[in-house]
Structure formats: structure tokens, C-alpha cells
Structure 1
Amino acid sequence: MELHPPDYSDWIAAPSPSFSRQQKYWLFRPGALTAGLRRIGPVQLRVVREHAAGLLPAEAWMLNRPVRSPVWVREIIMSINGVNSVFARSFTPLQASHSLWQGMRRLRTRPLADMLYHNPQITRSGFLACRLRDQHPLYRSARNMLGHQCPAANSMLARCSVFWRNGQPLLVAECFLPDFWPLAAKSAYDQGLSLKQI
């Protein structure tokens, strides 16, 4: 099932002309993001928060569920070579977190990719991307995670997609922190990509 952002949403289904070639690549790169990050350097994953919450109005359309429906939320930060590079916010209906997506509760410091890419029953939507704004739920999560070290909203680019398993959705939103881009640009992996037309 594909994602169709409502008119009021910041999410877009095609790369913005304002994105650089490097940004387009990472925002719409298929497969597990963690695998790509590991090509740049050692990745460390830190779980910041896991909790139950009500589905926010700005995010309810992503799961095709009513506003304030109970969801299970997982928020993490991934660092490369000790540099905070990506933060992610994932959520699924609370009931699904006890059944089809219960593995999400047992990951600890392992990435979601460990449970998403080895099951033929799981399908993934296309990607959406956006530049964050102060009011964006993802930016509010970033502020909670990073505190006074949180960069300005408009300096952060994010992507999201939804995984589906037997009709139950799991949304994964990943945001690239400003320090990620120069770190990636220094790697031979990223430099090879920049030569390709995205």
C-alpha cells in the first residue's frame, strides 16, 4: 500500500529540486539504511525511548488509523564513528506491537532491519521525504532526544516509509542530522555514489 500525503503534509513522494544529488540518494535509497551507514563507518545504535502514545493528527494518515489510536513508539539515535548521524522514530498500532510486530519490543540495541528484511510476508511502501519544520512531530522527537544539542529544524532532512504485514502497518521515519552529510562525503562509498546520476 502506497503513501499518499494529504495537502497539509510536508512529506513529498519525489525528490525536491532543492535536494543535492547526495541528499536524493540517501533519502530515497532502497534497502536497510543501517547497511548503508555501515559502509561509511562503525555504527552504534542507542535506544532513547520506547513507549505507548496516541496517534498524532499529523501522522494518523500514515497508518490509515484514527487520530489518538494507541500506538507503540520506538525512538533511536544512530552514530557513525561516534558522531550522531541519524535519529529514527518508528511506530505501529499498539495491538500489533503485541502480535505481528511484537519483535519491535525485543530489539533492544539491534536495528529494525534485523526483523524487516528476511520475511517475504513483509512489503514496503515507497519513500516520502521532507525538510523538517518546528511543528513537525519528528522534530519534536528530535528535540526531546537531543535537548539543547538539537540542530535547527530546517537543517534536517527526513524520509519515511511504511512496512506492511498481514494488513498491519509499521512506520519508520529516519532523519539525517547535519553532521551526517560531511561524514558521508568523506567516505569512499559515498564518493562513488556522487558520481552517479540520481
Structure 2
Amino acid sequence: MYQEPSWRSLLSHSDRSVPKQWRDWLLDTGSLTQRLIDASENTLTVQIINQRIDIPRFTEQRALKLPPRRLTMIREVVLLANSTPWVYARSIIPLTTLTGRLRKLRHLDNQPLGALLFRDPTMTREAVEVACHTKVNAKLPTTLLGGLQKSLWGRRSVFRLDAKPLLVSEVFLPDFKPYNQTLHFGFAGAP
């Protein structure tokens, strides 16, 4: 039986609960998309896995304060650097958010959602939550897990555009090595 990972506010994670090499990537409140573009030397691409209208998972409903069984648009993508999968992203967008000028979110195709979010002057972001994903609770496409030996770290936030909510979850995949990126590009948090 599938059990979702335990999403927690960053304030509830002690320094020891999040490995040092991950802290900088998980705690960063800026655009992960832009940071990955920089770290990949501008080779970042978006591969759509799935986009559909469906009922989100229980913890996603709770994060968005949705009533049970409310339909949303669910978009799952992989962010690749030099054709290597670095990040799995899952966005939950209530249908009520996809109205007016935000209708464009239905047709992002291979555009990164993060680029659009951080360009929007009405964007606000709630607290970042983090979770450790294991073989038991990592509900990701099996092709992305490879021979998963260790845990995968992820983060999620509720964003608001024009005060309308959407949830973005990002999970760092096995081929992404945060210490390589932080050392090479001089970001804080290098081991």
C-alpha cells in the first residue's frame, strides 16, 4: 500500500534531518528553474510525462485547502540537463485557478512553469515544505527511479497568481548531485 511522504515545514526540520549538501537546494526560495538553467549551462529542457484532469492526492488537497474529490489539472514533468533527468515536478492546479488570464497554464507544453511563476508580478509563495522520498513512498515513474538506493529529497510550495492557488512539488532525482552543482557554481551550502 502506498503511503505518501511526510511533508514538513522547513522550520520543523532540524539541521541534522536534512543532509548538508541538500539544504541550499531545498531552502532556496528563488526560481529552481533558473537555478537549474544556470547549473546546466543553459541545457535545461522540460519533458512532459503526463497532463490530465484528475483528483489530487490527499496531502495535495490538504495543502491547497480543496474539498475532497475536487478536480484539478495535474501536470507531471521531468527537468533534464544535457538529457539527464535532474528533477521530477508535479503541479496541481485547481480548475478554478485556470480561468481568465491564467487559462494559459493549460497550454504550457514544454515551457517550465517556474519561469512563468517568477515573472508574474502577482505571484506569492507560501512556506516551503520538504520531504524525504524512499522506495516505499516515492510515487514517481519507475523509469526515473533507476536503481534507487538512497532517499530522494523534495520540496513543495503553494503559489498564488492573482490570489489563485496552485501547488508545485519538486523531487531531486538520483542523477542530480547537489554537491557537484554547489561547488561548481559557488552557491552557498557546499559541503
TM-score (norm 1): 0.80
- Give runs of aligned pairs for residues 1-198 of structure 1, distance below 5 A: 10-14=6-10, 15-16=13-14, 17-41=16-40, 42-99=43-100, 101-134=102-135, 136=137, 139-140=138-139, 142-143=140-141, 146=143, 149=146, 151=148, 155-181=151-177, 184-185=180-181, 188-189=184-185, 191-195=186-190
Contact 2:132 2:151 in 1 (8 A): yes
Q: Percent same amino acid among aligned pairs?
A: 26
Residue 177 of structure 1, CA deviation:
0.8
Residue 90 of structure 1, CA deviation:
0.2
Q: Any unmatched runs of 5+ in structure 1?
A: 1-7
Q: Structure 1's 69 and 129: CA in aligned 2 closer, same or farther, altered over 3 A?
A: same
Aligned length: 183
Q: Structure 1's 186 and 120: CA in aligned 2 closer, same or farther, altered over 3 A?
A: closer
TM-score (norm 2): 0.83
What is the alpha-carbon root mean square deviation over aligned residues? 2.6
What's the counterpart of residue 5 of structure 1?
A: none
Letter in 2 for 1:151: L
In structure 2, what is the Cα distance between the partners aligned to 1:111 and 1:150? 27
Q: Any unmatched runs of 5+ in structure 2?
A: none
Q: Structure 1's 192 and 28: CA in aligned 2 closer, same or farther, altered over 3 A?
A: closer
